[in-house]
Structure 1
Amino acid sequence: MPDSVLDKLPALFATVLLGWAAARFSWLTDGRPGAAGASAGADPARVLSAAAQYLFIPALLFRAMARLDFEHMPWRVLMAFYGPLLVMVLGVYTVQRWRLHRGEGMAVSTGTAAVPATRAVTAGFGNSVQVGVPVIAALYGDAGLAMHVAIVSLHALILLTLLTVLAEMELARVRMRRASGGGSIGATVRATVRATLIHPVVLPVLAGLTWNLVGWPLPRALDEWLQLLGSAVAPLCLLLIGLSLGRQSLHGTLRGVASVGLLKMLLLPTLVLLTGHFVFRLEPLALSVVVMAGALPPGSNALIFAQRYRTLETETAAATLLCTLAFAVTAPLWALVVARI
């Protein structure tokens, strides 16, 4: 792996370790486990997660959508990447939902309803910024980075929006079943639409997209403020990974982590490689970029998703960390595979 990438990884792991230490030694609860803040329900991880969900990530998403240049998007490259990605993500969601309903029948609760969407987002959402940008820049230069940035610009819009809708649909079904013993399709749709539109991921995406389509420029002061807020997302999400790992045992999560790792770092790049090469006939540079983007480890936004729905938090944090470690080995292998083709 290029030196510039190796220089980046220690900072990521050090930030995760800082979060782990903060959880282990109760630095965020006055140094005492079960201190007043914690006993009052002010769990530091929950507070930081809420700040990321409702303040920093919305600023990042709104700014990205408002500045997106649709006229110069490499659409063939995007289709070669997002086509197999969506097929895999929807496949994971379908299988997980089938297993959930087979295991619990009609008794699916609000605590488990979001499990299929959470596993799907972890298996599909790559760390395209913190790891992807330095990797692509180091391996493929400015031309490759331009393609990768186009992929990044639609990443949250497509994956988080889709899986948020699926999670909210499942939650709406559970709530309607509890409220009225079944609930009509129309009521479920209305509840899903309402919950989705006010979601802290979907709302800023739609607002930024509207701003973009209207053609308004972002005022410099607003742009700098949004950029400042968005810059907090990376370190905050890494801290949350460490906090989640420090508070709970990994016992019982390794099977799920292994499944996510195989899906995210083996199956997805394979599907992207086959689609890009045989279906879209991408040139070597474009093919290399999409395959490496597909091979990235899970991104920390997956943990924010898990924490919002309070499900699979430790598994998602462990998958993010361990797959990032594994990426130091798998990245050169995928680069070599594409180079041989």
Structure 2
Amino acid sequence: MTLDHPVVSSMLPVVLLIAIGFAAGRLRLIRGEAVRDLSNLVFLVLVQALLFRTMATAHLERLDLRSVALYYIVAGAMFFALLFIQGLNSRSAVVALAAIFSNTLMIGVPLVQLAYGQAGLVHLFTLISMHALVLLTLATIVIELLVAREQAANGQQGHRPIAATVARAVKNAILHPVPLPIIAGFLYSLTGLGLHPVVERPLKLLGDAFGPVALVLVGVTLAQTAIGPHLRGATGISLLKCVVHPLLMALAGWALGFGGLALSVMVVAAALPVGANVFLFSQRYHKAEELVTASVAVSTAVAVVTVSITMALLARWNPLGG
């Protein structure tokens, strides 16, 4: 496999960014005390700009939702299955999110562009335009509900009625750094006004900084994390993300008669490694932080092999003209 291979050329920048962050952490160029501030910068500033701009400039009425609907059904089913298997708690929700949330932007875009061209990107951008809206909003609501239940069980909320607990959790999920800019951007897109370049350009610059800064932050955190104790768990999450997720997507697609380029792009998207947004979620809720950090790194390494195999199998069993 050469450096020109689509998988390698897409994964290598991600690996290098994590490695740069790891070196910066080990050399104490970025100290442990600064990690929380950097996490807040990424989660409360850069992600806000990325999500709002994406939704505000998306032409939702032009999107072919048929090709992505099944993707979210499969991802949602897998999320809840893992949540119930592991136990209904906020930590399990973060781990389940790691098993279904792909790095569609940093790795997916260049990979699909190199492998399938502009036609493939159309399908991927349809998926990306709703990726955060569907999966992150779903995860936020579930995690907030579970956190509320855990706080009630620990006596931190007194004897609040269940309806009030649910209402408070849903309110927290909506007034949250992830769903709020998505909803705001979607509502703004309905006006049809578009974004003036004076506003759009700084939002784009901030949004473009999200991926690199988040991955460097993963590396910094990795430098302060003992991977050994989490290697088994991270490997398990990586196999769920890079093997089980695309397998379920492929089986569901073929069972329902999907085929050709649309199915190939969806399966490849499912095969991508864990996205940095899950790392930020774990930081935000202080749940499984070290495990998720290790999973981002391990899944990226695993995906070099598994995505290559996935694409080779797709080329054989799912001709793009199908």
On whether the aligned pair clears a TM of 0.5, the verdict is yes
Q: Which residue is equivalent to 1:199?
A: 176
Q: Which residue is equivalent to 1:109?
A: none
User: Distance in 1 between the 2:187 and 2:117 partners?
Assistant: 32
Q: Which residue is equivalent to 1:171?
A: 147
Percent identity between the aligned chains? 33
Q: Which residue is equivalent to 1:210?
A: 187
TM-superposed CA distance for 1:181, in Å, is 4.4
Match for residue 19 of structure 2 among 17, 39, 42? 17
- 2:149 pairs with 1:147: no
Counterparts of 1:237-256 in structure 2 under 5 Å?
237-256=214-233
**What SS is found at the alignment partner of 1:218?**
coil
User: Distance in 1 between the 2:186 and 2:306 partners?
Assistant: 35
Q: Which residue is equivalent to 2:198?
A: 221
TM-superposed CA distance for 1:179, in Å, is 3.4
Match for residue 94 of structure 1 among 79, 84, 88? 84
CA contact (8 A) 1:287 1:338 kept: no
Q: Which residue is equivalent to 1:76?
A: 66
Match for 1:96: what amino acid? Q
**What SS is found at the alignment partner of 1:275?**
helix
CA contact (8 A) 1:122 1:298 kept: yes
- 2:269 pairs with 1:269: no
CA contact (8 A) 1:20 1:243 kept: yes
- 2:165 pairs with 1:188: yes
Q: Which residue is equivalent to 2:286?
A: 310
Q: Which residue is equivalent to 2:47?
A: 57
- 2:308 pairs with 1:335: no
Q: Which residue is equivalent to 2:9?
A: 7
TM-superposed CA distance for 1:5, in Å, is 4.3
**What SS is found at the alignment partner of 2:105?**
coil
Match for 1:243: what amino acid? V
Normalising by the residue count of structure 2, what TM-score does the alignment of the two structures yield? 0.92
Q: Identify the range of structure 1 (215-224 vs 233-242) with the bigger mean alpha-carbon deviation.
A: 215-224
Q: How many residues align?
A: 314
Q: Which residue is equivalent to 1:104?
A: none
Q: Which residue is equivalent to 2:320?
A: none
Normalising by the residue count of structure 1, what TM-score does the alignment of the two structures yield? 0.87
Structure 1: any 5+ residue segments left out of the alignment? 30-37, 99-112
Match for 1:275: what amino acid? A
User: Distance in 2 between the 1:7 and 1:306 partners?
Assistant: 28
Structure 2: any 5+ residue segments left out of the alignment? 318-322
CA contact (8 A) 1:117 1:164 kept: no
TM-align CA RMSD? 1.7
**What SS is found at the alignment partner of 2:106?**
coil
User: Distance in 2 between the 1:245 and 1:180 partners?
Assistant: 35
Q: Which residue is equivalent to 1:101?
A: none
- 2:127 pairs with 1:137: no
Q: Deviations over 1:251-282 (max 9, x none)?
A: 32122212211211111111111121221x22
- 2:38 pairs with 1:44: no
User: Distance in 1 between the 2:169 and 2:194 partners?
Assistant: 32
User: Distance in 1 between the 2:295 and 2:157 partners?
Assistant: 38
